[in-house]
Amino acid sequence: MARYLFRRILFLPLVLLVLLTASFFLMRAAPGDPFANERGRDPEIQKNLKAKYHLDKPLWVQYGIFLKNLLQGDLGLSTKYKDRTVNEIVAGHLPPSVLLGVIALLLALVVGVATGTVAAVRQNTVFDYSTMAVAMVGISAPTFVVGPLLVLVFAYYLHWFPITGWGSWHELILPAVTLALPFTARISRLMRTGMLEIIRQEFIKTARAKGLTETRIVLRHAIRGALLPVISYLGPATAEIMTGSLVVEKIFQVPGIGYEFVNSALNRDYSLVLGLVAVFGTLLVFMNLLVDIVYGLLDPRIRYE
Amino acid sequence: MSTSDPVKFVAGRSLWQDAFRRLLRNRMAVVGAIVTLLLACIAIFAEWVVPVDPTYQELHHRFGVPGQVHDTTPERLFLVEGERTSFPPLRYRGKGTRHFRFLVQQRIATGVHVHLSARSKKVRKIQLTRIDSLPESVERIEVRGDREVFRHGKGEEEVTVLDKEIVLGEKLDDVFLPLLSRASRGRQKLVLNQVVRAETNQTLTFDLESDQTVRGLRIDNQTVATYDLVGRLVQEVRRDGKPFQHRHLLGQDMHGRDLFSRLVFGARISFLIGVVATLVSLFIGVFYGAVAGWVGGRVDSFMMRVVDILYGIPYMFLVIILMTSFGRDVRVMFIALGAVQWLTMARIVRGQVLSLKEKEYIEAARASGGGGFWILTRHLIPNTLGVIAVYTTLTIPSVILQESFLSFLGLSPEWQGQPLESWGALTWNGIQALGTGQNWWLLVFPAMTLAITLFSMNFLGDGLRDAFDPQMKGRT
Amino acid sequence: MTPLLDVQNLSVTFDTDDGVVQAVSDLSFHLDEGEILGIVGESGSGKSVSCLAMMGLVPSPPGRVQGRCARFEGEDLLTLSARAIRKVRGDRISMIFQDPMTSLNPYLRVSSQLTEAMRTHRQVSRKDALDRAVELLDLVHIPDASRRIHDYPHQFSGGMRQRVMIAMALMLEPKILIADEPTTALDVTIQAQILDLLGEIRQRLGTSMILITHDLGVVAGVCDRVGVMYAGRFCEMGPTDLLFSDPSHPYTRGLLRSVPRIDRPSHATLSTIQGNPPNMTDPPAGCAFHPRCEEQFDRCLVERPEWMGDSGEGQKRVACWLEESEAEGSE
């Protein structure tokens, strides 16, 4: 387990570094500078601004300063909102995004695992077919199609939920469901496939020969093995949820970092974009690490490696 | 199987025939293939499919409900005698000959003198005082246009003018020119620029043969000439006829543009980006994978390690940064989306090359003195073609999805400064124009079109994968 | 004496895309108290399926089980409800399977896998079940049982795992132990150890066993009686020594010839049985073995041979027309 985790711990920050480096140089490679269009066209002010943001230094030095500050947890100043640090903006906007993401992930796990398991156990029944048809829809239909349609039906016509907004649990449901749907679908499919593979294994025959009930066989013998592909999917799923949150936060006007990221990119707020990428990347790395640990705990063959 | 049976000879089938047979047995894949082909045809032949030009605005039919039929001419044709007027293709789809009749509108003045009364910040009134050379047949006058420049004593001011019919001599409502207040105090004479048209009681007619398409008209005193799509004269006929009609099958948007036509042209953009970006990814992926698989050893494991690392990255963030940095030119989008899609292709190609490398005919090629590059291009790449084709079809829908995602976020691709509005952008416009839910069609139709397209392509792709690569069936 | 288990006319079919597979046809056999019955046959001959069918473990659909009865301790296993037969499984009849690598759940500790049958069928505390499990691991000669019991399956070697499987099957002192190819996946030396262990268990606990195998060597060592199966039917059945010394059915003879023997010169070539096992969706008419039989004659092609020979104790029966013609010839 230790060796396995060690490999992953070395690997994941590398992903983060690649992401940050690519973002940094892409941002800096853009033609023009962030202050060119501002009122203060006075060269003196321009110069001061550039100095403040270290834009007057060579690219590699800028990169070094960026990484150094990042390691100290300092994400710098926003180039757009000059009186606010990126840290403040992140602190204000991170909680809604994390809340939404965690709820969506839990929802997807619970519903996906349950439906996938039942579909596998009742293979080739109406339940199986309909679950898999819905799952196919869930995987193919993009979040930005499902979300607005849900709003139209449940908020505009049925008035069950508010249209947009943030604050109460009531306002949380539609965005969470929208965000969770593709992952629910994929987890359901993964769970079904995993379950079907497991229940064909010899050790399930052994369990049956012991006279255990089907429920007990599924819950005790099959589910652990069938969960493994689902657990490994949670790593990439985190990245996808972050991407999905860009859209969901825009549709439902959730004041999260996804919404903030899109805006900052459109505004070309360099340091805010980079800061938010760093936050997303760090979350991703931690989530992947967590997934690896859970995987190791579930599979004794890795735990005792 | 009894021994008395005569030995049967089964004709050998190639891998491709076999795969094709398997594909045909998968009903969902066949449906997906049909829908995909249909959409591709629509995208290619968009000009011939649409009833009206997708950019044409019927401003007095904003948010037109789906299914409404509008006469084409009275609203849309702005005919000046002796000048040729172009308009979106109109097609008569019946049999035999059909007689069309137009109401003729004429530009009657390039400038109209208007009295503006603006005593305070609030009250504005407009009075039409004089129109040059007004023909006797004119019954009413219409002022139209989105933004028009008013010239008055203190320079120019841009004003939003709503569509408005005005009867000669009448005063306009207060709501009419809300922005004029600040610049103009007291009574002033303004010149309304090119916005007045008069509807005459004259009509023009012409006949169309079955399936003729007309895109241009020219009228003079007695005749009307019709032109086809490329500007050739179709016929010249006497004035007097019935109007063209077109149906807004899926309704109209906030500018009175036909949603169906916009979706059809959106398909072209989505498909174009899907195919081109996929080709970019194909190029990178095949090259990278083939080199890794062929060279092998340390280079291979290093190259694949790089792929592993890149797999962990949430790409859309990078694409968004790329597009905000380098602009939204559609060529940037091709490269940006292509550059994030090649990883899977590289892995698959590498796997194929590794397994093929060991096969006898490669040995044979090597023994007969073929160089590395020659073997790569002549033997390895052709033999991985089937799998590559399958994964290419699987990549296209995901590129379309990503492009729509970006458009939805407001990062529509542009071509020569003009935004290319794909389905993602239309969906986002639909959300914005939803109102209190009454303009549902603007959201539902683009969203459903996108969803159905992605379904069809995914079903087709899955079907192809199962057909070409039966071992993969049910794995993913 | 009424046999412990009496199976009559058991048939199992599977509905597949290519048609109905007749896996087991009209199979009858019995098992006496304390007896070890070997069932031998090629893979696909229906030997495993017949036992699974008896235990209600044939998945349905696609499988269908029919038969007159499978009488065991006054109950008919074939007509028991799913609930009732579950109570029999793992308690009075237990099974062990071919591959000890895959027959144990890799995600659960051996301790919980050993004790769960007991905790399902009897009201016992965790502690008592665990004690019993350690006792049985000792019985099957697993060293340091009280510590190893908390390990995971992958921490055991193949032979050890099969011992664990056997211990697991014996937890509730079953009347019958069905061992489905228990040695096939093991090394030869380990095979012998496991077979010795099975013999030892019969000695100590008096458990009856059905030993399913394709390996005649396995049968020879431990079984009292052997049935040879081909294409879903028995073709020959009788006491082990009699069957080995005087095989009557051409298939049995073929099988015996294909086993290397120490009492034959080492340069003598091993013979094989020609052809392939029959396609069970469309089995040959007459005797199912006739397409591969070197001694076939007209009757074999059209009429299926029934049991011939004395059904009494210590006698051998065979289903082959040769037997009848020999009997006629000698009269």
Which tens digit of pLDDT belongs to each residue from C101-112? 888 888 888 888
What burial class does residue C260 get, using C-beta atoms within 10 Å of its C-beta: 0-12 exposed, 13-18 middle, 19+ buried?
A: exposed
Yes or no, beta carbons of B450 and A142 under 8 Å apart: yes
Which of C116, C145, C171 is a domain's end point?
C171
In this structure, is residue A256 part of a structural domain?
A: yes
| A101 and A245 both lie in a single domain | yes
Pick from C207, C91, C219, C110: which is nearest to C157 by CA? C110
For B325, nearest residue in chain A (alpha carbons): A30
> What is the β-pairing status of strands C93-96 and C176-180?
parallel
| pTM listed for this prediction | 0.74
- The whole-number pLDDT of residue C166 equals 85
A152 neighbourhood in chain B, CB within 8 Å:
434, 437, 440, 443-444
| C69 and C24 both lie in a single domain | yes
Yes or no, beta carbons of C117 and A210 under 8 Å apart: yes
Once rounded to an integer, what is the mean pLDDT over residues C76-80? 85
Yes or no, beta carbons of B314 and A250 under 8 Å apart: no
Q: Where are the beta strands (DSSP E) in B232-298?
A: 233-238, 245-248
Which of A71, A98, A117 is a domain's end point?
A71
Once rounded to an integer, what is the mean pLDDT over residues B446-462? 89
For B2, nearest residue in chain C (alpha carbons): C284
In this structure, is residue C142 part of a structural domain?
A: yes
Question: Cα dihedral sign for A124, A125, A131, A133?
Answer: positive
Residue C322 in contact with partner chain A when CB distance is under 8 A: no
Higher pLDDT, B81 or B249: B249
B3 neighbourhood in chain C, CB within 8 Å:
291
Q: How many CB pairs under 8 A join A and C?
A: 79
The percentage of residues in chain A with a pLDDT greater than 70, rounded to a whole number, is 91
Residue C291 in contact with partner chain B when CB distance is under 8 A: yes
Flag whether pLDDT at A15 surpasses 90.
no
In this structure, is residue C98 part of a structural domain?
A: no
In this structure, is residue C177 part of a structural domain?
A: yes
Yes or no, beta carbons of C154 and A301 under 8 Å apart: yes
pLDDT in tens, B82-103: 445 545 444 444 444 444 444 4
| C188 and C320 both lie in a single domain | yes
Residue C94 in contact with partner chain A when CB distance is under 8 A: yes
Flag whether pLDDT at C160 surpasses 80.
yes
CA triple A239-A241-A246, angle to 5 deg: 105
- The whole-number pLDDT of residue B59 equals 62
Q: How many CB pairs under 8 A join B and C?
A: 7
pLDDT in tens, B319-357: 888 888 888 888 888 888 888 888 888 988 888 878 777
Which of A39, A71, A103 is a domain's end point?
A71
- CA A292, A297, A298, A300: dihedral to nearest 10 degrees? 120
Chains touching A by CB (3 or more pairs below 8 Å): B, C
**Which band of pLDDT confidence, cut at 50, 70 and 90, is reported for residue B275?**
very high
A250 neighbourhood in chain B, CB within 8 Å:
408-409
pLDDT in tens, A145-175: 888 888 888 888 888 887 777 777 778 888 9
B1 neighbourhood in chain C, CB within 8 Å:
278-279, 282
For B457, nearest residue in chain A (alpha carbons): A140
Pick from C216, C13, C176: which is nearest to C94 by CA? C176
Flag whether pLDDT at B166 surpasses 60.
no
In this structure, is residue C33 part of a structural domain?
A: yes
- The whole-number pLDDT of residue B202 equals 47
| A264 and A125 both lie in a single domain | yes
In this structure, is residue A85 part of a structural domain?
A: no
| A21 and A136 both lie in a single domain | no
Tell me the C-alpha distance between B55 and B63, whole Å: 15
| A145 and A65 both lie in a single domain | no
Tell me the C-alpha distance between B374 and B377, whole Å: 5
Which of C139, C171, C203 is a domain's end point?
C171
Residue C277 in contact with partner chain B when CB distance is under 8 A: no
SS (H, E, C) chain C: CCCCEEEEEEEEEEEECCEEEEEEEEEEEEECCCCEEEEECCCCCCHHHHHHHHCCCCCCCCEEEECCEEEECCEECCCCCHHHHHHHECCCEEEECCCHHHHCCCCCCHHHHHHHHHHHHCCCCHHHHHHHHHHHHHHCCCCCHHHHCCCCHHHCCHHHHHHHHHHHHHCCCCCEEEEECCCCCCCHHHHHHHHHHHHHHHHHHCCEEEEEECCHHHHHHHCCEEEEEECCEEEEEEEHHHHHHCCCCHHHHHHHHCCCCCCCCCCCCCCCCCCCCCCCCCCCCCCCCHHHCCCCCHHHHHCCCCCECCCCCCCCEECCHHHHHHHHHHC
* CATH code at position C266: 3.40.50.300
Q: What's chain C's average pLDDT?
A: 83
- The whole-number pLDDT of residue A180 equals 93
How many angstroms separate the CA of residue B31 from the nearest CA in chain C? 24
In this structure, is residue C97 part of a structural domain?
A: no
Q: Which are the contacts of B248, defined by CB distance < 8 A and separation ≥ 6?
A: B61, B64, B65, B66, B67, B68, B69, B70, B258, B259, B260
Are A19 and A281 spatial neighbours (Cβ–Cβ below 8 Å)? Answer: yes
| A63 and A94 both lie in a single domain | no
* Count of structural domains within chain C: 2
- Residue A106 sits in which domain range? 90-298
In this structure, is residue C151 part of a structural domain?
A: yes
- Residue C266 sits in which domain range? 5-92+172-330
**Which band of pLDDT confidence, cut at 50, 70 and 90, is reported for residue B371?**
low
**Which band of pLDDT confidence, cut at 50, 70 and 90, is reported for residue A299?**
confident
Tell me the C-alpha distance between C212 and C41, whole Å: 8
How many angstroms separate the CA of residue C293 from the nearest CA in chain B? 13
| A147 and A213 both lie in a single domain | yes
Any idea where the domains of chain B sit in the sequence? 18-24+32-43+257-472, 73-243
- The whole-number pLDDT of residue B183 equals 40
- The whole-number pLDDT of residue B367 equals 67
* Count of structural domains within chain A: 2
- The whole-number pLDDT of residue B92 equals 46
How big is chain C, counted in residues?
Answer: 331
| C154 and C296 both lie in a single domain | no
- The whole-number pLDDT of residue B467 equals 80
Q: How many CB pairs under 8 A join A and B?
A: 129
| A102 and A189 both lie in a single domain | yes
The percentage of residues in chain B with a pLDDT greater than 70, rounded to a whole number, is 50
For C285, nearest residue in chain B (alpha carbons): B2
| A135 and A249 both lie in a single domain | yes
- The whole-number pLDDT of residue A186 equals 92
Which of C171, C196, C212 is a domain's end point?
C171
* CATH code at position A148: 1.10.3720.10
For C283, nearest residue in chain B (alpha carbons): B1
- The whole-number pLDDT of residue B31 equals 92
| A94 and A157 both lie in a single domain | yes
The percentage of residues in chain A with a pLDDT greater than 90, rounded to a whole number, is 16
In this structure, is residue A81 part of a structural domain?
A: no
- The whole-number pLDDT of residue A111 equals 95
| C307 and C266 both lie in a single domain | yes
In this structure, is residue A77 part of a structural domain?
A: no
How many angstroms separate the CA of residue B157 from the nearest CA in chain A? 24
- The whole-number pLDDT of residue B13 equals 53
Once rounded to an integer, what is the mean pLDDT over residues B104-110? 45
> What is the β-pairing status of strands B418-419 and B98-107?
unpaired
| A169 and A38 both lie in a single domain | no
In this structure, is residue C35 part of a structural domain?
A: yes
Among the residue ranges A183-192, B443-452, C81-90, the one predicted with the least confidence is: C81-90
Yes or no, beta carbons of C279 and B2 under 8 Å apart: no
| C215 and C321 both lie in a single domain | yes
| C290 and C151 both lie in a single domain | no
Yes or no, beta carbons of A262 and B451 under 8 Å apart: no
In this structure, is residue C129 part of a structural domain?
A: yes
In this structure, is residue A60 part of a structural domain?
A: yes
Given the candidates 3.60.20.10, 2.40.100.10, 1.25.40.10, 1.10.3720.10, the CATH classification of the domain at B18-24+32-43+257-472 is 1.10.3720.10
| A287 and A219 both lie in a single domain | yes
Residue C282 in contact with partner chain B when CB distance is under 8 A: yes
Tell me the C-alpha distance between B50 and C223, whole Å: 83
For B426, nearest residue in chain A (alpha carbons): A145
| A197 and A293 both lie in a single domain | yes
**Which band of pLDDT confidence, cut at 50, 70 and 90, is reported for residue A181?**
very high
Tell me the C-alpha distance between A275 and A254, whole Å: 19
- The whole-number pLDDT of residue B376 equals 64
